[in-house]
Amino acid sequence: MSPQKAIIIGSGIAGMATAIRLAVQGFEVTVFEANAFPGGKLSLFEKDGFRFDAGPSLFTEAHLVEELFELADEPMENYFSYQQLDTACHYFFENGKRLKADTDKDKLDAAIATQLGEKPGTVKDYLSRAEKLYDDVGHIFLNFSLHKTSTWIHKRVWKAVKAVRWPYLFSTLNEYNQSRFKQPETVQLFNRYATYNGSNPFKAPGMLSLIPHLEFNTGTFYPKGGMISITNALYALAQKKGVVFQFNHKVQSILQEGKKAVGVEVNQKQVRADVVVSNGDVYYTYKHLLKNEKQAARLQQLERSSSALIFYWGIQHQFEELGLHNILFTRNYSEEFAHIFEKQQTYHDPTIYINITSKMEAGHTPGKGENWFVMVNAPADNGQDWSKLVKELRKQVVLKINRMLNTDIEPLVATEIIMDPLRIAERTGTFKGSLYGTSSNSKWAAFFRPANFDSGIKNLYCCGGTVHPGGGIPLCLKSAAITADLINKDYGHQ
């Protein structure tokens, strides 16, 4: 009997991870990718000798990558390696305070006590609560489909229900953090974790306090070769398991017969399959591939996550005070998020994230310079005048960096590429350029996030950052695991 066929639309991280899992299950897998390269947002480009990771820059939960190689029975060391970081991030505050956030909980607690004035033991207690919250509740929400009855009748759910406390659901992340910390800098630091899924800490629930657990309790890592090495490793592993990649093949539609997906139309040809998995933006999937205007309209009503303005700068200087990950905080965090989510505008004093991979590896720059990935939070695209906003915000970013690092950055910028929400939407196919699909700005947001399957169309599944459980590399890998497990249960492959 010939193997059943699966088609994956898109070769993002979730798409490749799903392809690997389905190949291991016994499917004959083909991935159709509109671009000439794999990886989706997790790609790479070079300009004037400076090398930049184009997309996600933080690597946590490395075991999720290891899991794929174990599942495929392939030695990961032949494809991929990484190292654990001693420092999670360098933080800079407008009042002059600075913090080198160690990944060791004891050192982090001591540093926040001495440098920010928090009571010793407070941070360790916070992270212990975050770990328990993740183990009791997060495990259910992030590793299983929330749209299947089987998830909710399992005994593990009752443990999760008992573990949920009022502040996690009915307090915002900011309110929860204010109840745990005394110093505004510490509150701001831990409020930041709402941005890991593109949300507003002044709206999102205290449940998001589990996110720091992944950075400090389980570890922060750097993949050798930069973030693109994750893409390269999964691509090579997928090929090893027999997955076929068709690049420059843009899918025009998902073929249906009755209420069943039977394949795709790609480059004006019909290709049939037993299973179709979309790794594309879920709104785009329903709007353009399924021509389902009703479902697309429903998805359009959900609040979008934040987007970003990114300046890729080749810097002709080395800044000793900076590390791989760096944050220059705004003076007024609540006003910044009000601009992004309520006014749909950029803020004149933005929080600035600077990622510099040349701190970890030589060869990412020509000579003794640094490759700066400079990102500020921005609203999703709603027709704003981005050319005007980019010019204004670039001036503010330069002024802020000059002020907080006591430098003159403009003459040091040897090369520049700019990415705004409009360009992000065009390059990645994400609706309105929102980096994480929908936001988590309500206590029920997890339940409104689209499912990994379509209950009305048999054989159709979805994976990636715009469906359950969310965006970012770890959640995309979890999304792939959930999707592949659903398919395995439906088809009984081993």
| Phi, then psi, of 32 in degrees rounded to 5 | -100, 125
Q: Are residues 167 and 266 in the same domain?
A: no
Residue 465 to residue 462: CA distance in whole angstroms? 10
| Nearest residue to 189 (alpha-carbon basis) of 269, 268, 133, 122 | 122
92 within some domain: no
110 within some domain: no
pLDDT the model gives residue 67: 98
Specify the amino acid at residue 449: R
Residue 316 to residue 366: CA distance in whole angstroms? 9
- Per the rule left: phi > 0, alpha: psi between -120 and 50, beta: everything else, 243 is beta
Specify the amino acid at residue 198: G
The segments of the chain whose pLDDT lies below 50 read 166, 494
Q: Are residues 243 and 231 in the same domain?
A: yes
Q: Are residues 278 and 317 in the same domain?
A: no
Q: Are residues 325 and 396 in the same domain?
A: yes
pLDDT the model gives residue 145: 80
Which residues, 6 or more positions from 418, have their beta carbon under 8 angstroms from its beta carbon? 309, 310, 311, 312, 390, 394
Q: Are residues 377 and 320 in the same domain?
A: yes
pLDDT digits (tens, 9 = 90+) for 379-432: 999 999 999 999 999 999 999 999 999 999 999 999 999 999 999 999 888 999
Domain boundary among 218, 249, 282: 218
135 within some domain: yes
103 within some domain: no
Q: Are residues 421 and 328 in the same domain?
A: yes
pLDDT the model gives residue 167: 62
pLDDT digits (tens, 9 = 90+) for 452-489: 999 999 999 999 999 999 999 999 999 999 999 999 99
pLDDT the model gives residue 299: 92
Specify the amino acid at residue 184: P
157 within some domain: yes
107 within some domain: no
Domain boundary among 428, 455, 476: 428
Q: Are residues 408 and 475 in the same domain?
A: no
Q: Are residues 241 and 313 in the same domain?
A: no
pLDDT the model gives residue 154: 61
Domain boundary among 203, 218, 233: 218
Q: Are residues 210 and 317 in the same domain?
A: no
47 within some domain: no
What is the number of domains present in the chain?
Answer: 3
What are the Cα distances from residue 121, in Å, to 19, 115, 292, 454?
Answer: 45, 14, 53, 47
Q: Are residues 310 and 351 in the same domain?
A: yes
Which residues, 6 or more positions from 329, have their beta carbon under 8 angstroms from its beta carbon? 91, 92, 93, 94, 185, 188, 351
Q: What is the CATH number of the domain that holds 12?
A: 3.50.50.60
pLDDT the model gives residue 161: 55
**Which residues constitute the domain of residue 414?**
306-428
> The pTM is what?
0.95
User: What 3-state class would DSSP assign to 315?
Assistant: strand
pLDDT the model gives residue 284: 96
pLDDT the model gives residue 494: 46
Q: Are residues 282 and 229 in the same domain?
A: yes
Q: Are residues 247 and 260 in the same domain?
A: yes
Residue 466 to residue 472: CA distance in whole angstroms? 10
Are the beta carbons of 157 and 136 closer than 8 angstroms? no
Q: What would the DSSP string read from start to end of 60-118?
A: E-THHHHHHHHHHT--GGGT--EEE-SEEEEEE-TTS-EEEEESSHHHHHHHHHHHH-P
151 within some domain: yes
